[in-house]
Amino acid sequence: MNSSRNGAHPAPVQRSVRLVEIGNEQEGQRIDNFLLATLKGVPRSHVYRLLRRGEVRVNKGRIKPVYRLRKGDVVRIPPVRLAPERTQPSSLSAAMRALLEASVLYEDDWLLVLNKPGGLAVHGGSTIRLGLIEALRLWRPDIPRLELVHRLDRETSGCLLLAKDRRTLRALQEQLQQDLHAGGMEKRYLALLQGAWTSGERLVELPLVKNRLAGGERLVSVSSQGRRAVSRFLPKRLYRTRDGLEASLMEVILHTGRMHQIRVHAAALGHPVAGDAKYGDPDFNRRLKRLGLKRLFLHAARLVFRHPASGDRLAVEAPLDEVLQGVLDVLAC
């Protein structure tokens, strides 16, 4: 018998190698993102394992996850086991619709900028039925090609940029990949850090490397073998409470965009981000939780970039949400 126990159906298997030729719509897309979209239901960790092992090839050659596809490329996709597709909601709740409507900071015919709420993942996953991008596609079916230009961690709030067509996506991602001083996109964050920052403005250049633990969790650490990572920290305000708690509100300008860059740089300097369960101080986090902080205090406050159609400089700012602003108000008392 082919049926599995308890009447469950086995996961379908793509039994043969597939060769996919890249067309106009996929041109410029990273190979890892292309595979995640093509192999729906395959765990993210398995997709990256296929890339590391060289089982996915482009024009018969091995490639890295950051490789950007070109028109005419032939992608070899090996046999994989596909998990059954989960049923996606066919409509949005009134609360989610209202949240999305209130989050729009800027929109035109080419792009959309949202003030992403903290705690909302940008993508659905094995434990997240509906992410922000899936919710947006349900809310705005009039934008069939809506794509994320970049990502924010689930707990991070603030400016999130989306493109409405592939050409706009490529143009914005090119700016994103450039160093700030080479005309790249300007990204400014607000972060509440542990302790009293007394050194004034500081340029931090610490290379970072990504590590994957046995359970699949990803951690980033400072390493001379890592990729170049540059952050500029500018102190905004120092808070001291009556019971001796010290915290510093910082503006952080990213010159490069590495995974967890601000969080790891801040922790390496001895001033981890408030509410950071991965790189932060548990005791400091507990004290701030009593003041109302239940998530990471990291907010993408400002984006500045060249508009892909007009070439004009466009600046978009996202205000702090009530939770983060409330924590600052309590600290200031």
Name the pTM for this structure.
0.79
Mean predicted confidence (pLDDT) in 302-313: 95
- Predicted pLDDT of residue 89: 56
Inter-axis angle of helices 44-52 and 31-38, nearest 10: 130
- Predicted pLDDT of residue 92: 83
Q: How confident is the model at residue 36 (pLDDT cuts 50, 70, 90)?
A: confident
Residue 281 among the catalytic residues: no
Is 1.10.3720.10 the CATH classification of the domain at 94-167?
no
- Predicted pLDDT of residue 1: 42
Q: Copy the structure tokens of residue 322.
A: 């009530």
Q: What CATH number labels 182-332?
A: 3.30.2350.10
Q: How confident is the model at residue 37 (pLDDT cuts 50, 70, 90)?
A: confident
With pLDDT > 90 as the criterion, what percentage of the chain qualifies?
A: 62
DSSP 180: G
Can you name the residues that pair with 227 across neighbouring β-strands?
Answer: 208
Q: Copy the structure tokens of residue 195.
A: 């302790």
Catalytic residue of the set 153, 179, 281, 329: 153
Fold agreement (94-167, 182-332): yes
Can you name the residues that pair with 62 across neighbouring β-strands?
Answer: 57
Give the closest residue to 63 by CA, choosing from 123, 114, 112, 22.
22
- Predicted pLDDT of residue 25: 74
DSSP 182: G
Sequence spans of domains, the chain: 12-81, 94-167, 182-332
Do you know the residue count of the chain? 333
Q: How confident is the model at residue 290 (pLDDT cuts 50, 70, 90)?
A: very high
Q: What CATH number labels 12-81?
A: 3.10.290.10
Instruction: Indicate whether 150 pLDDT > 80.
Output: yes
